[in-house]
Structures are given as C-alpha cells and as structure tokens.
Structure 1
Amino acid sequence: MADWFEFIAALTLFMLSHMFPVRPPMRPWLIARLGLRGYFISYSVLSLLVLAWLFVAAARAPYVAVLPQWEILRWAPLLVMPLACLIAVGGMMGQNPLSFGGLGSKPFDPETPGMLAASRHPLLVAMALWAGAHLLANGDLAHVILFGLFGGFAVLGMTLIDRRKQRLLGLGEWQRLAQGTARLNLLRLPLSPLPIGLALIIFVALILLHEPVIGYVPLPW
C-alpha cells in the first residue's frame, strides 16, 4: 500500500482542488481576497501543478496490468488525438453559449453552429477522446484509474452542463440555440482549412513536447 501512497495522495489532492475552490462559500471568499483575475490565475496555476504531479505519480505507481498491452493499442493516441485537437480548436474558435463559452468574437448563430453541429461540448468531447485513447495505450491500473476518471468526468459533464444550461437559459431558449447541435455526432463534423491547420500544428507540438514534459516518446516505432 505504501507504494501507492504518492498516487493516492496526488489523486485525492486533484479531486479536492476541483471541488472546494469552485464552490460556495469558498469561491466568493477567495474572489473577495484575490480579485476575480487573481482567483482565476491562482486556480489555473494550482490546477496545472496538481495535474502535473498526478501524471508523475501515476508513472511512478507500481505496475499492475489491467488491459492487454497489444502493440496496436499504442497507436490509439496517434490516431485519435488529431481528431480531438480538431474538435477542441474548432469549438474554441467560436462562441458557445451551450457549454464553456469559446474565444470567437462573432456571436453564436444556431443556423450555422460550426463545430457545435458535431458537439456542443467540444472541449469535453476532446477530453473524452484523449482519455479513452491514452487509457488503451496505458493499460496499467494507475493509468486506467487516471484516464478513466477524466473520461468519466467528460461524459458525465455533458449531461450536467446540458441540464444546467437548460435551467439558466430556459428550456425554450436552450432548444432554440441547440437545435442544430448534437451532444456528439461525428458525421456532422465540419472540415475547414483553418481549424484543420491549427489542429495539426497543435498535434505536432504535443508530439514534440511529450517526451520532455511527460518523459515518454509517444511514437511506437
């Protein structure tokens, strides 16, 4: 059990850091003292540090095989991550009143939903694809727990956000905005040159940074 202490501690801290700082009364208390900008910066830095420790702890945990380590499964991230990058990039390029917002300046038009036609939760879909692919490629117990947690959070989050947005917007307005969207329908995936190009750049950057940051070469050859 002692060999698992670091992973359990990192996982516990990760879950606590995503529960208490974002909920009342802790969130208003922190914002009152740090300011809204200071709160988001501090929370982002804390999340990244804890996440980095969680990945390191998972790599150090004792190896307990759960899934078969077939060579073909190591190709899963290389095949799935370009799609995940495309969905994330395409989703963030526009406004998204149905999920996490978006960075685009043009107001969302339900008649031309863009990437939201494939998923109104592009960041969560990208997270689910990332987690699922890496779970297959890393079949040991620690990584199955780690990526299973992220994948489960992403899938559950889509349902929870839909319910919350329906409550905040009103069912009629939500239905009007969501009429051309789907929770997930890859057959409606829009393919435009700019998001494809940006997604490929991000994918290549992830490949190059994987070894110096994670400590593992993702290419199976």
Structure 2
Amino acid sequence: MEILSLGLVLFLGLHLIPTVPALKAQLVHVFGENRYKGLFALLAALGLLLIIAGYGRAPAGPTLFASSIGARHAAPLAMIISFILFAAANMKGHIRAWVKHPMLLGLTIWALVHLLANGHAKATLLFSAFLAYAMIDLLSVIRRKSYKPFTPVLKFDVIACVAGLLLALLVMTFHRQLMGVAVVPWGV
C-alpha cells in the first residue's frame, strides 16, 4: 500500500497546487511557464504510474465495510454519466456551460460510486482520496470563481455524449481484463 499511497500523494498533491494560487504563481515564476507545465506533467505521470502499480500490487486488505448493492447496480449508469462529463470538460457545449466544472463532478460521481461499491482497504484508500481531491478542488474553483463564460455549441454536447457513452461501454466491457472485476454481464 506504500506505493499506492506515494502515488496518490504525488498525483493528487500536484493537482491541488492550483487551489493555492500564490503557490502556483511562485512555482511558475521560479521554473517558468513551460518548465512548470513540463515538470507537472512528468511528475503527474509518475504519480499515476505509481497509483496503477501500487493498486495492482497491494493486497485487498481487510474489508472495512460492506459493499453497497445499490452502488453496484447504479455503477454502470453512473459511469456513463461520469464519462460524458469527462468528455464535456474541454468542449464548449451546453453541458459544460450548465455544470461549469464537469470533470470534477464526473470524478466525484466516479469516486463515490466506486467507494460505495467496494469495501476493501486498498479500494477505500484509492477512491476516498480521489473523492476528497474532487471535493476540495471543486470548492476551490467555486471560491476562486474559476470559470470563463463562452457561447455553447450543441455539436459539442453530441460529441461528448457519444464519446462518453462509447468509452464507458468500452471500459465496462473490458473492466475484468483491466481491473480484475467483471461489472456488466456482457463483459469479457
């Protein structure tokens, strides 16, 4: 669990830097904009690799709470919604205009349903860390009023919905191969 924990601290810690604008500004000043972005990307990728490797290597650990049957049944629909929100996050569509921060809302839904659908220690650590990050960052962007208005275009909503649906179905289909747990009857 140490590798998983280290990956979470690195990956999520980096992603919390923008919640402290003075710290981000100082880092950009010290490193320069491009070097800051490069270091951020490199360290975030390392953190993500540590999370993946750490989760795969960590024992499930003790069961901390009973898995929620409701969360397991809701997970496929919740994942479709999450993936649509992820896709909409960088598109100037009505979904993004209405939700304002679709990536953080999608991450919150993803983390919460996975947290409730699992009960063992490593899953609780992983999904509660991502849920806490999403909530902290969401509160921060709301407090900082970090939203730039734009004119939404319907075609981006269509693209986000189709891409999100297809990606969610693909992940659900191969979830057993990717994560070791079959989540839908048609999964391989």
Q: Which residue identity lines up with residue 140 of structure 2 in the other structure? A: L
1:138 aligns with 2:118: yes
Indicate how the Cα distance of structure 1 residues 45 and 92 shifts in structure 2: closer, same or farther if over 3 A, else same.
same
User: Which of the numbers 202, 206, 211 marks the counterpart of 2:167?
Assistant: 202
Tell me the matched-pair count: 175
CA contact (8 A) 1:76 1:134 kept: no
**Deviations along 1:138-169, whole A, 9 cap, x unmatched?**
22122212211211221232221122127xx9
Backbone CA RMSD of aligned residues: 3.4
- CA deviation vs aligned residue, 1:22-71 (integer Å, no higher than 9, x gap): 7353332222xxx52x5424422431331231133134333121221366
Aligned to 2:152: none
Contact 2:4-2:55 within 8 A present in 1 as well:
yes
With over 3 angstroms needed to count, the CA separation of the structure-2 counterparts of 1:122 and 1:148, relative to structure 1, is same
Partners of 2:101 and 2:62 in 1: how far apart? 33
Stretch deviating more after TM superposition (19-28 or 152-161): 19-28
Q: CA deviation at 1:126?
A: 0.6
Partner of 1:216: 180
Residue identity over aligned pairs, in percent, reads: 23
Pairing 1:26–2:27 present: yes
- Unpaired stretches in structure 1, ≥5 consecutive residues: 95-112, 178-191
Indicate the structure (1 or 2) with the bigger Cα radius of gyration: 1
Distance change in 2, residues 1:48/1:134 (3 Å) = farther
- How far apart, CA to CA, are the structure 2 residues paired with 1:50 and 1:61? 16
Any idea what the Cα deviations from partners look like across 1:73-101, whole Å, max 9, x if unmatched? 4344322110112223234220xxxxxxx
1:154 matches 2:152:
no
The change in CA–CA distance for 1:198 and 1:12 in structure 2 (over 3 A counts) is closer
Q: CA deviation at 1:208?
A: 5.2
For normalisation by structure 2, the TM-score amounts to 0.72
Higher helix share: 2
State the alpha-carbon separation in 2 of the partners of residues 134 and 57 from structure 1: 17
Q: Provide the rounded CA distance (Å) in 2 between the counterparts of 1:193 and 1:26.
A: 38
Encode CA deviations 1:88-124: one digit per residue, 9 max, x unaligned. Answer: 3234220xxxxxxxxxxxxxxxxxx711464111111
Given the superposition, is the C-alpha separation of residues 26 and 47 from structure 1 closer, same or farther in structure 2, using an over 3 Å criterion? same
Q: Which residue type is aligned with residue 78 of structure 1?
A: P
**Normalization by structure 1: what TM-score?**
0.63
Aligned residue number for residue 103 of structure 1:
none
